[in-house]
A and B are shown apart, each in its own frame.
Chain A
Amino acid sequence: MKKTVNHKAWFMVLPVLLLVAFSAVIPLMTVVNYSVQDTFGNNEFFWVGLEWFEEVLHSQRLHEALGRQALFTAIILLIGIPLGIFIALNMPKHKGLWSSVCLVLVALPLLIPWNVVGTIWQVFGRIDIGLLGYTLASLGIDYNYTQNSLDAWITIIVMDVWHWTSLVVLLCYAGLQSIPDAYYQAAKIDQASRWSVFRYIELPKMKGVLIIAILLRFMDSFMIYTEPFVVTGGGPGNATTFLSIDLVKMAIGQFDLGPAAAFSLIYFLCILLVSWAFYTIMIHSDKEAN
């Protein structure tokens, strides 16, 4: 659609601007403010320049948390996206009771409060009272997510797959629904294999939604806090201390305002950078599609 140039449209955007300024800009300024100051308590602050940034950037702690975070996000994307596509391809194509039931059930995990997701898996994985933990234990598998780092990781990854794969499924499903039947019929006539149908018809149509899916999955897994916090509290040791958990520990637990603020800004910048790349790709493919 061709848009008209109208600078007065700014007035329509103004309410959003004011609201977001209040709920984002002011807090962000506070963070920036902390990141360049130090305090001895009693609300006395003094200027330290970029010292906190240097400290945080060189700290072992950030590097480790960042490494864990990157690994976690990579694993989640590698499992969640292909699995989501696979499930979406098998979802019922035609509208009806069965497809409605599938949609509602598939979407359900997305609407469970995140701490409840944590609670569910905390319980589910316990050896004494959880279905999963108990079953594994009775099969003779040594599994204990509170003691063993690997088990903790597996539990959190399975939990995240359980929680969020449905988002990818629904997005891909929406993309698949927009493919007219004639495309499948033409492919049949051309004697295309199942793989060709996927590669040349389904995947190109899903491209747009897949970019959104990857973007959302990247962002949300990179920001993950509540679920692992409830399940493992970041442990055992620091094994599942991801960036957000570490940040909250630093800011609220230890009240290290300066480093926490510098940490926050670096963290935010990381996400912003990757998201900007995705956003640019998305806008580009939007244009191509039109």
Chain B
Amino acid sequence: MAKITLERLAHSYQKNPQRDADYALRPLNHVWEDGAAYALLGPSGCGKTTLLNIISGLLQPSEGRVLFDDVDVTTTDTAKRNIAQVFQFPVIYNTMTVKENLAFPLKNRKLDSAYIEKRVAEIAELIDITDELNKKASDLGAAEKQKISLGRGLVREDVNAILFDEPLTVIDPHLKWQLRTQLKALHQKVGHTMIYVTHDQTEALTFADKVVVMSEGQVLQIGTPTELFDRPEHTFVGFFIGSPGMNVLPGKVSGSTAKVAEHEISLPQNYQEHQGTIEIGIRPEFIRISDDTSGLLVDVLRVEDVGHYQIVRTQLITEGNTFAINVIVKEGVEITDGMRYLHFEPEKINVYVDSWLVSGGRDEEDC
């Protein structure tokens, strides 16, 4: 087990990257704490697999260093890094039995056969596959196969980290949920550092202690699921996490007053004057819709009932542009014709300048 440090790490598939867009992974510094569970979350092509492959050593970064427990492993071969990886599609050795699959990494290290036998039995127990040990690995279903590839990583006691590259892609939906829970429990039991790449926020938020949100080769925010929900540091994070995502509206902020389309909202904090595009972010959970005319007037488009709650889709037309605003309302509340006014919870409003979060101060002097 190890702490993994990324130092000024960046990667470009081009020879001489000039612009930010030339980078598959833009420069970043980060420390992955020993024994924690991380998720790398972002849409397809955001650079998360590139980052994962750099950590596993399948890819050489073009800039920066990777350290395992303060040892520079940037140029160390994958085999010597002693990590485990579970791929998008199950990778198993088809001609071997489940047992032989699990024993394979240990056999390659020429370990004692009695030890191998014992260790394989332990791991099989741990991943709940003891009954299948003598079956041919190719006869199993996708979920079992993924368990085996995970098992091949766990079987090495001193493994530095376990990396997951969208491991549930080919798993049936009802097994997905089950495997996810098992994985979480497993992490608590074995305590390895785990890094889990996914584009699915539910997977990321349920699995990880800390989630790293990426977009276009850039790490936007690293934080706990609560932090990502309450204080998204970038409008993309706010929008990407949550269902529906955060509403982002153009506005003006002066002092402790925010203004959205002539509608004034008083904020609990004071803000400095900022250059650039100012936006107001508010999650649908923290907007109330009513017939109280002191709110922001919008057009209600439709109401969707999604079970535990309803989503009210509205739109605001200001300065010739149309902005969608989603509002979450508890189930059973009837939305009448007159309910066209939105009230924002001031505490939950985030202010963004050029898409990045800015914080305000309590007092005038802080500004």
Residues of A within 8 A of B78 (CB): 185, 188-189
Q: How far is the CB of A180 from chain B (nearest CB, A)?
A: 7
Does B105 sit within 8 A of A, measured CB to CB? yes
Q: Digitize B42-67: 1 where CB-to-A-CB distance is under 8 Å, 0 elsewhere.
A: 00000000000000101000000000
Given contacts A189-B79, A204-B93, A204-B94, 20 further A-B contacts (CB under 8 A): A180-B91, A182-B91, A183-B91, A185-B78, A185-B85, A185-B87, A185-B91, A186-B85, A188-B58, A188-B77, A189-B83, A189-B153, A190-B104, A190-B108, A191-B79, A192-B104, A196-B104, A200-B95, A200-B96, A201-B93
Q: Does B88 contact A (CB under 8 A)?
A: yes
Report chain B residues within 8 Å CB of A192. Answer: 104, 108
Q: In the complex the two chains form, what is the Cα distance from A217 to B109 in whole Å?
A: 39
Q: Which of B67-109 contact A (CB under 8 A)?
A: 77-79, 83-85, 87-89, 91, 93-96, 104-105, 108-109
Closest-CB distance, A63 to chain B (whole angstroms): 41
A99→B228 CA distance, assembly (Å): 48
Q: How far is the CB of A250 from chain B (nearest CB, A)?
A: 47
**What's the nearest-Cβ distance from chain B to residue A14, in Å?**
40
- Residues of A at the B interface (CB closer than 8 Å) are 180, 182-183, 185-186, 188-193, 196, 200-201, 204
B164 to chain A, nearest CB (A): 13
Assess the B85–A196 pair: CB atoms within 8 A.
no
**A191 contacts which chain B residues (CB < 8 A)?**
79, 105, 108-109
B152 nearest in chain A by CB position: A190
Q: Tell yes or no: B5 within 8 A of A by CB.
A: no
Q: Is B235 an interface residue (CB 8 A)?
A: no
In the assembled complex, the Cα of A204 lies from the Cα of B149 at a distance in Å of 18
A2 to B174, CA, bound (A): 26
CB <8 Å contact, B88 and A200: no
Residues of A contacting B108 in the complex (Cβ-Cβ under 8 angstroms): 190-193, 196
Interface contacts (Cβ under 8 Å), in number, total 51
Residue pair B87, A200 in contact (C-beta under 8 Å): no
- CB of B79 within 8 A of CB of A204, answer no
Instruction: Chain B residues near A188: list those with CB within 8 A.
Output: 58, 77-79
The answer for the CA separation of A190 and B96 in the assembled complex, in Å, is 15
Return A209 CB to nearest CB of chain B, in Å.
15
Residues of chain A lying within 8 A (CB to CB) of residue B104: 190, 192, 196, 200
* Residues of B in contact with A (beta carbons under 8 Å apart): 56, 58, 77-79, 83-85, 87-89, 91, 93-96, 104-105, 108-109, 149, 152-153
A120 to B96, CA, bound (A): 47
- B265 to A: closest C-beta gap in Å: 51
In the complex, the answer to whether A182 meets B88 with C-beta atoms within 8 Å is yes
CA distance A189 to B152 in the complex (A): 10
Q: Which residues of B contact A190 (CB under 8 A)?
A: 104-105, 108, 152
**Closest chain B residue, CB of each to CB of A181:** B58
Kindly list chain B residues whose C-beta atoms are within 8 Å of the C-beta of A200. 93, 95-96, 104
Minimum CB distance partner of A196 in chain B: B108
For A183, the chain B residues whose CB sits under 8 A away are 91
Instruction: Provide a sorted-by-A list of 15 A–B residue pairs whose CB atoms are within 8 angstroms.
Output: A180-B89, A180-B91, A182-B91, A185-B58, A186-B91, A186-B149, A190-B104, A190-B108, A191-B105, A192-B104, A192-B108, A193-B108, A200-B93, A200-B96, A204-B94
Q: Beyond A186-B87, A188-B58, A189-B83, is A204–B95 a contact (Cβ under 8 Å)?
A: yes
Contacts of B105 in A (CB 8 A): 189-191
Min Cβ gap A270→B in Å is 32
Give the Cβ gap from B275 to chain A, nearest Cβ, in Å.
47
Provide the residues of chain A in CB contact with B89, threshold 8 Å.
180, 182
CA distance A188 to B81 in the complex (A): 10
Quick check: A189 and B85 within 8 Å, CB to CB? yes
Give chain A nearest CB distance to B53 CB in angstroms. 8
Which residues in A have their C-beta under 8 angstroms from that of B88? 182
* B residues near A204, Cβ cutoff 8 Å: 93-95
A3 to B56, CA, bound (A): 44
Q: Could you tell me the distance in whole angstroms from the C-beta of B90 to the nearest C-beta in chain A? A: 9
**Which residues of A are found within 8 Å of B87, using beta-carbon distances?**
182, 185-186
* Bound: A193/B58 CA distance, A: 16
Chain B nearest CB from A88 CB (Å) reads 19
Cα–Cα, bound, A186→B165 (Å)? 12
Residue in B closest to A182 when the chains form the complex, CB atoms? B87
CA distance A33 to B360 in the complex (A): 104
Give Cα A192 to B105, complex, Å: 7
Q: B95 contacts which chain A residues (CB < 8 A)?
A: 200, 204
- CB-CB under 8 A from A185, the residues of chain B are 56, 58, 78, 85, 87, 91
Q: Name the residue among B56, B79, B93 with the largest chain A CB count within 10 angstroms.
A: B93
CA distance A204 to B91 in the complex (A): 13
A189 surroundings in chain B (CB, below 8 A): 56, 78-79, 83-85, 105, 153
In Å, the complex CA distance between A189 and B83 comes to 7
Distance of B2 from chain A, by nearest CB (Å): 15
Q: In the complex, which residues of chain B have a beta carbon less than 8 angstroms from the beta carbon of A201?
A: 93
Question: Taking the nearest CB of chain A, how far is it from the CB of B255, in angstroms?
Answer: 56
Nearest chain B CB to A27 CB, angstrom units = 44
Residues of chain B within 8 A of A193, CB atoms compared:
108
For B79, what are the chain A residues with a Cβ–Cβ distance below 8 Å?
Answer: 188-189, 191
CA distance A185 to B83 in the complex (A): 11
Please name the residue on chain A nearest to B85 by beta carbon.
Answer: A189
Q: Chain A residue with minimal CB distance to B80?
A: A191
CA distance A185 to B105 in the complex (A): 13
